[in-house]
């Protein structure tokens, strides 16, 4: 099916012309790359009257702080030479910072103060809030998007006082959640639901020990944490705090914010490396997925990002770090309870979706973090073979039958696939 992309920003049209040449010998890949790369702009973004940008996830009419960042990240490298993309991305960030100012514990928001949501949870609700599951990564993603955009374009217009106020609120929240049991007022309960949709212990979550890390109620899957210190999310927070410190120093000349961000980053890093690793009898020193600081660990990985698989993509450490390599060997094996091997594919899934469902996000992330080009190209072939002839990526698909899948319209998955393919193009993988 031929698509009309002439209404897209000029930067995308130039990229697609380049793809027409580089991917000419792979017509399915060419068509899927274009569709997935354009999907967020064509179907999920809405320019608001105040100049901000509202972004739905796809089939859910709410804006997740996480998804809205991940859905537009692949446009950042093109933004320096395209004013339309600049307006869109800066609009996303402004909307996100407005939402953080309303409630930094919320993960998803409405387009207006319309009081819409799927569940009436027992927590502090606000008409703007679609869902109030507190997830560390919800606050990391807007910082990451802003920083990467700044570095790609050298534009600082988005770093206004609303942005600085949001950074301060994020910092204060993460400091509070270092001592969740003693200092936090956050509670969340949902009734008549699976255990993964609510927090135990009267909405407080199970007890945690002080480690230096910051507590999270829920994972990026929106499932409840088993133990409150989610290691990949704390890694993402460490990276985001480094970005925050640089923005505070270079843009705002704010010494107090700069120093406070670096102090918290050091404490979280110490907690990760001291409490977040285990010595596995088979894999050696590796990262746990979760811990409570009392010596209990959850060994697994989930397809949603931040994940243990995504550690180099997040910027916490490199692919040649031995602890990461050991962790990668574990999570890409059946010792990870959510790694599935099937007739159609092998890869990481999630307790958020049915048993033996592999996520396209995890396959794209495995490719983005692969050290060997051959692994990346094999994963690309798997992605192309498991789209169920839809031309798009999905959430999860059955390891034995890709025609059984969840969420046919999931923009984050399309964006990450597009970023993966664009990266391979820049590496010359198709020359």
Distance separating alpha carbons of residues 332 and 300, to the nearest angstrom: 10
Confidence of residue 269 (pLDDT cuts 50, 70, 90): very high
Chain segment 117-173, per-residue pLDDT in tens: 989 999 999 999 999 999 999 999 999 999 999 999 999 999 999 999 999 999 999
Closest Cα to residue 171, out of 269, 262, 261, 65?
A: 261
Share of the chain above pLDDT 90, in %: 97
Q: How many CB atoms lie within 10 A of CB 81?
A: 13
Q: What are phi and psi of 349, to 5 degrees?
A: -115, -145
Q: What is the mean pLDDT of the chain?
A: 97
User: Strands across the sheet with 357-359, in order?
Assistant: 357-359, 396-398, 401-405
pLDDT for 59: 82
Q: How many CB atoms lie within 10 A of CB 370?
A: 18
User: Which two tokens mark 323?
Assistant: 């602890």
User: Which two tokens mark 301?
Assistant: 């990985």
Q: Is the pLDDT of residue 226 over 80?
A: yes
User: Which two tokens mark 29?
Assistant: 């890949």
Q: What are phi and psi of 303, to 5 degrees?
A: -65, -30
CA 8 → CA 42, 84, 85, 149, 402, distances in Å?
A: 8, 9, 10, 20, 31
pLDDT for 6: 87
Distance separating alpha carbons of residues 243 and 247, to the nearest angstrom: 6
**pTM for this predicted structure:** 0.98
Q: Is the pLDDT of residue 188 over 90?
A: yes
Q: Decide: 299 and 288 in contact? Cβ < 8 Å.
A: yes
For 76-86, what is the mean pLDDT?
A: 97
Interhelix angle 360-368/411-426, rounded to 10 degrees, is 20
Distance separating alpha carbons of residues 280 and 92, to the nearest angstrom: 42
Q: What are phi and psi of 183, to 5 degrees?
A: -115, -20
Share of the chain above pLDDT 70, in %: 100
Q: Which domains are delineated in the chain? A: 1-43+338-431 (no CATH), 47-336 (1.50.10.10)
Q: Residue 405: beta bridge partners?
A: 397
Q: Is the pLDDT of residue 1 over 60?
A: no
Confidence of residue 235 (pLDDT cuts 50, 70, 90): very high
For 364-388, what is the mean pLDDT?
A: 97
Distance separating alpha carbons of residues 246 and 254, to the nearest angstrom: 10
Q: Residue 129: beta bridge partners?
A: 109
CA 356 → CA 32, 344, 366, 395, 400, distances in Å?
A: 25, 11, 17, 13, 8
Does residue 39 have a cis bond before it (omega within 30 degrees)? no
Q: How many CB atoms lie within 10 A of CB 45?
A: 19
Chain segment 296-348, per-residue pLDDT in tens: 999 999 999 999 999 999 999 999 999 999 999 999 999 999 999 999 999 99
Q: Decide: 331 and 282 in contact? Cβ < 8 Å.
A: no
Distance separating alpha carbons of residues 32 and 273, to the nearest angstrom: 40
pLDDT for 58: 81
Count of residues for the chain? 431
Interhelix angle 136-153/83-102, rounded to 10 degrees, is 150
Q: Is the pLDDT of residue 209 over 70?
A: yes
Confidence of residue 217 (pLDDT cuts 50, 70, 90): very high
């Amino acid at each position: 099916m031929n698509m009309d992309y002439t209404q897209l920003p000029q930067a995308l049209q130039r990229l697609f012309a380049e793809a027409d040449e580089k991917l000419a010998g792979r017509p399915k890949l060419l068509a899927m790359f274009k569709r997935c790369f354009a999907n967020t702009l064509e179907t999920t973004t809405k320019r608001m009257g105040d100049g901000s940008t509202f972004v739905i996830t796809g089939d859910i009419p709410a804006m997740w702080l996480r998804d809205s960042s991940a859905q537009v990240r692949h446009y950042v490298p093109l933004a320096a030479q395209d004013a339309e993309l600049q307006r869109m991305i800066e609009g996303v960030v402004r909307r996100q910072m407005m939402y953080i100012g309303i409630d930094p514990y919320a993960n998803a928001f409405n387009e207006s103060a319309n009081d819409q949501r799927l569940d009436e949870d027992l927590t502090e609700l606000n008409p703007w809030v679609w869902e109030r599951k507190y997830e560390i990564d919800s606050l990391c993603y807007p910082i990451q998007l802003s920083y990467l955009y700044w570095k790609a374009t050298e534009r600082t217009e988005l770093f206004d006082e609303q942005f600085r106020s949001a950074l301060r609120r994020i910092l204060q929240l993460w400091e509070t959640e270092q001592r969740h049991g003693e200092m936090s007022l956050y509670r969340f309960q949902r009734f008549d639901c699976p255990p993964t949709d609510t927090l135990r212990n009267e909405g407080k979550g199970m007890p945690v020990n002080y480690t230096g890390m910051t507590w999270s109620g829920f994972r990026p899957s929106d499932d409840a944490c088993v133990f409150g210190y989610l290691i990949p999310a704390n890694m993402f927070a460490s990276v985001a705090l480094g970005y925050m410190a640089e923005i505070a120093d270079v843009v705002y000349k704010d010494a107090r914010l700069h120093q406070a961000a670096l102090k918290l980053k050091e404490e979280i890093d110490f907690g990760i490396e001291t409490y977040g690793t285990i010595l596995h009898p088979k894999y050696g020193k590796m990262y746990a997925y979760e811990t409570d600081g009392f010596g209990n660990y959850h060994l697994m990985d989930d397809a949603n990002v931040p994940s243990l698989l995504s550690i180099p993509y997040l910027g916490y450490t490199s692919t040649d770090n031995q602890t990461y390599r050991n962790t990668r060997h574990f999570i890409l094996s059946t010792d990870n309870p959510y790694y599935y091997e099937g007739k159609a594919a092998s890869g990481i899934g999630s307790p958020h979706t049915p048993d033996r469902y592999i996520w396209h996000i995890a396959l794209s992330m495995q490719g983005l973090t692969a050290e060997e080009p051959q692994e990346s190209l094999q994963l690309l072939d798997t992605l192309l073979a498991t789209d169920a002839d839809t031309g798009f990526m999905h959430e999860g698909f059955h390891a034995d039958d890709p025609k059984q899948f969840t969420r046919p319209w999931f923009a984050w998955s399309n964006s990450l696939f597009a970023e993966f393919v664009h990266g391979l193009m820049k590496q010359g993988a198709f020359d």
